Amino acid sequence: MLQGWVVVATSFAYLGLLFAIAYYADRRADAGRSLIANPYIYSLSLAVYATAWTFYGSVGRAASDGVGFLPIYIGPTLMIALWWVVMRKILRISKDNRITSLADFIASRYGKSALLGGVVTVIAVIGIVPYISLQLKAVSNSFTIVLQYPAIVMPAKVGAVPMLQDTALWVALSLALFTILFGTRHLYSAERHEGMVAAIAFESLVKLLAFVAVGVFVTFGIYDGFGDVFARAAADPELRPLLTPLEGVAGGYASWVWLTILSMLAILFLPRQFQVTVIENVREEHLKKAIWLFPLYMLAINVFVLPIAFGGRLHFPGGVVDADTFVLSIPMAERQELLALLVFIGGLSAATGMVIVETIALSTMVCNDLLMPVLLRLKSLRLNDRADLTGLLLGIRRGAILLIVLLGYLYFRLAGDAYALVSIGLISFAAVAQFAPVVLGGIFWKGGTRRGALAALVAGFAIWFYTLLLPALARSGWLPIGLLEQGPFGIALLRPLQLFGLAGLDQITHAMLWSMIANLGAYVMVSLSGTQSAEEHRQASVFVDVFRRSPEGGGARFWRGTASATDLHHLLARFLGAAAADAAFRDHAKRKGLSWPTQPLTADADFVHHVETQLAGAIGASSARIMVASAVKEEALTLEEVRRIVDEASQVVMYSHQLEQKSRELEAASSELRAANERLKELDRLKDDFLSTVTHELRTPLTSIRSFGEILARDPKVDLAQRRRFLGIIAKETGRLTRLIDQVLDLAKIESGRTDWTETAVDLREVIGDSVAAMSQVLQEKKVRVEVHLPEQITPVRVDLDRIFQVLLNLLSNAVKFCNPQDRRIEVTLAERDGWLRVEVCDNGSGVRPADEKSIFDKFVQAGDTLTDKPQGSGLGLYICRHIVEHHGGRIWVQRAPAGGACFAFTLPIERGAPIHQP
């Protein structure tokens, strides 16, 4: 059953099945019913991590090292725990920026640098070549072994074959052809390869099934369960050390730790892992399931590694059979033809899965980040004039796939025999680990610069090349072995395996130590010693702050220039085809609320940004940048523009200042309003007081008038003298009432501001004389002596004569009321000083209590005790006086007279507007 033609036919049938699955998945995707849009398919596709290395190599490693194969799976498990933080961020960034590959990601982060993208591509291709050769080696070895059935002969023993009969070459060519058919049917690298992912997920199931089948067969078919295998191994003195392998064997703990770190980084940065995890991801939420399903897959595929390894060592003692082939050779030795065929298919699926995804990822990088930027810059190719470039792009990708696979084959021919499978794979792991500082640093640290990233990659890659790839070539006889033993030019310090004399570490640990020091050191130091360009700065914040931005991250605002929508459409059509370009335009128009093509689109910054992102999805960020730059006339910022931008910025600052000021003003206004409201409430209260006081004041004279009137009316027998007295009181009280009403009217006028002031130049001496004369009757009646002191000369003053007269009368009548009843004396004094006239009216009464000196000028305040004393006035007179004096710019107050009585004084300015006089 294991004849050559059966094996070949089964292999092609299997590949045909893959193709059918891919075709079906693509059809479903086109119909909008995606097959792969669920977390289980996503998790299975991640298991492309398990390659022929896992399938054949793990057993080989376990047979010699024991646990040495495990860090390769435990490391990813640990890293996947960090995915929720790290991978979610990478996913979000990649979706926002339509990233097409790892090289695109790095180039985009550091200012869309085409140079950086190229460097990453070169490192990835060179670094992955050994890994691809590993797959070729595994497949061709397994094929060779199967063909020898029923004998178990190692490929090395089969002897050298001419190249055309070399199975590895045919395997390589068929894989390349298959990948080309598979992965480059359409140009839609940013869209996902749905068919490929479905096929890869299927392959993951096949290889797991095959490996578990062998494991169950060995553990439970040949032996009697796990216990039996390990008990027999423990009894074998050669195998016993492998049961406690961490001492002495496998480089001890240092090797364990470094392998763990290495594979932690590999799960992130292997181009094919980046492809399936990031580029092919349908929804971010799928991570939730993948975070535990994928590690579970790795656990499952490793459970039987040790039983198979120990079973193989027990089965084939003496090391005649290469441990890397135990998975296949045990079923063959046990005559299990069907199982052997299944294993062969399983190994094939592990290898093909890896080669397909890896070469698709690498060819995208080679095309978008290495060749296109160069080709587009070469004016002599006149690429810019070609109407449709999709054919060229596909051609480049197909060529790149073939080239990469053939490079793998070349490496296999050159160096494939010197190393075991795992050791070959680890060289590739170490190469992609060089991307860790620039990617992880790039998404969490804004300070990383383009130069820093370049320096880091070049330094790390150089050390990797010198300490891992060079020795591999030397050991295979392609370089003098003396290079390893004596060092280049005999300089022992530079021996690739003991660089700078660092000995005692295994090769991977040694290489990782030095390359990471160089890589990380260069990244940090060069970044810190330089500055970023505007583009780098912008991209840094787009990447680092991805969760703080809106999905349409903008950034287009920095762009300025002119373009025509027709040019942009032309550009898109050339790379994506006319239909896709139309779709992109319609999409953009819809967001702007227009309907293209009936309504034209303006090629503003936002639109150009949209076109650039669309283009980036097909040809990568740096190529897209070049293309867009060629289509739009981007203008350099002149000094004038910069000044305008600064002006705009300062204007914004100014506006914000103005806003602040306005809000302060508003605050002030509202507190003023509050105060006014308080005042209004107070006035309202005063009005109530006023009303009640006035009515009270009116009542007093009215009551006496009424009561005396009633007496006179009721009792006709009242004698004449009495009658006269009563009538006198009535007349007096009526006069008082009249005065009161006059004053209230006056007050109302004054307070409402409706008073008419007629000002004339007045000699105050005359006014005083007139007022004393007007009072003369009262003064005589009450026998009051009045002394008037007037100066010889006085400056006339402009006042309202009647009002000032009113003030003087009021003060005089008050003085008359309150002077000493035994010896009534009043003194009136006029003086002129410093531009002020001062009038004093003093009596010799009991004076005003100090507590009343201020309030006496308020409304309805009467001197003396209102409870015991009979009220002597309305309480409005002095209030009105104060009002009149203050209206003239003067001041009125009361002080103690030298003789002990009250002394009312007021001042009037000779020139209006003179400073308020302070006595």
Contacts with other proteins, residue ranges (CB under 8 A): 67, 70, 74, 77-85, 88, 225-228, 230-231, 234, 240, 243-247, 253, 256-257, 260, 287-289, 291-292, 295-296, 299, 303, 306, 547
CA distance 510 to 244: 24
- Residue 393 to residues 178, 185, 388, 396, 576: CA-CA distances in angstroms? 18, 11, 10, 5, 10
Q: Of 259, 261, 270, 262, which Cα lies nearest the Cα of 127? A: 270
CA distance 248 to 282: 46
Q: Of 458, 543, 731, which Cα lies nearest the Cα of 106? A: 543
Nearer to other proteins, 292 or 478 (CB): 292
Tokens describing residue 753: 């501001």
Least Cβ distance, residue 81 to other proteins (angstroms): 4
Tokens describing residue 355: 């080669």
Nearer to other proteins, 266 or 885 (CB): 266
Residue 571 contacts residue 114 (beta carbons within 8 Å): no
Residue 892: phi, psi to the nearest 5?
A: -130, 140
Burial (Cβ within 10 Å: 0-12, 13-18, ≥19) of residue 86: middle
CA distance 594 to 423: 59
Strand-pair category, 759-762 with 797-800: antiparallel
Nearer to other proteins, 145 or 287 (CB): 287
Least Cβ distance, residue 267 to other proteins (angstroms): 13
Burial (Cβ within 10 Å: 0-12, 13-18, ≥19) of residue 679: exposed
Residue 894: phi, psi to the nearest 5?
A: -125, 145
Nearer to other proteins, 66 or 408 (CB): 66
Tokens describing residue 686: 């005063």
CA distance 878 to 895: 14
Residue 314 contacts residue 395 (beta carbons within 8 Å): no
Nearer to other proteins, 85 or 713 (CB): 85
| Beta strand residue intervals within 205-336, DSSP E | none
Nearer to other proteins, 245 or 488 (CB): 245
Nearer to other proteins, 31 or 85 (CB): 85
Q: Can you count the helices (H) and strands (E) in the chain?
A: 37, 9
Q: Of 500, 349, 504, 508, which Cα lies nearest the Cα of 422? A: 508
For 896, the 3-state DSSP assignment is strand
CA distance 107 to 105: 6
Nearer to other proteins, 133 or 302 (CB): 302
Chain-centroid distance of CA 848 in Å reads 76
Nearer to other proteins, 444 or 655 (CB): 444
CA distance 306 to 230: 9
Which residues sit opposite 809 in a β-bridge?
A: none
Least Cβ distance, residue 151 to other proteins (angstroms): 33
Nearer to other proteins, 134 or 309 (CB): 309
Least Cβ distance, residue 52 to other proteins (angstroms): 23
Least Cβ distance, residue 518 to other proteins (angstroms): 24
Nearer to other proteins, 288 or 377 (CB): 288
Nearer to other proteins, 60 or 416 (CB): 60
Least Cβ distance, residue 70 to other proteins (angstroms): 6
Alpha helices by DSSP H, 31-85: 39-46, 52, 58-65, 71-81
Least Cβ distance, residue 66 to other proteins (angstroms): 8
Nearer to other proteins, 302 or 806 (CB): 302
Tokens describing residue 540: 């840094």
Residue 436 contacts residue 268 (beta carbons within 8 Å): yes
CA dihedral 623→624→629→630, nearest 10 degrees, is 70
Least Cβ distance, residue 223 to other proteins (angstroms): 11
Cβ within 8 Å of residue 599, ≥6 positions away? 589
Least Cβ distance, residue 296 to other proteins (angstroms): 5
Nearer to other proteins, 16 or 241 (CB): 241
Nearer to other proteins, 9 or 243 (CB): 243
Per the listing, tokens 């977390």 go with 39
Least Cβ distance, residue 84 to other proteins (angstroms): 4
Tokens describing residue 883: 């009002």
Least Cβ distance, residue 593 to other proteins (angstroms): 30
For 785, the 3-state DSSP assignment is strand
Least Cβ distance, residue 254 to other proteins (angstroms): 9
Q: Of 190, 696, 117, which Cα lies nearest the Cα of 438? A: 117
Cβ count near 620 (within 10 Å): 34
Q: Of 375, 341, 236, which Cα lies nearest the Cα of 7? A: 341
Write the DSSP assignment of 607-660 as a string of letters. Answer: HHHHHHHHHHHHH-HHHHHHHHHHHSEEPPPPHHHHHHHHHHHHHHHHHHHHHH
Tokens describing residue 555: 């950034």
Nearer to other proteins, 74 or 468 (CB): 74
Tokens describing residue 300: 């499952």
Least Cβ distance, residue 211 to other proteins (angstroms): 16
Nearer to other proteins, 43 or 814 (CB): 43
Nearer to other proteins, 441 or 452 (CB): 441
Dihedral sign (CA 35, 41, 46, 50): negative
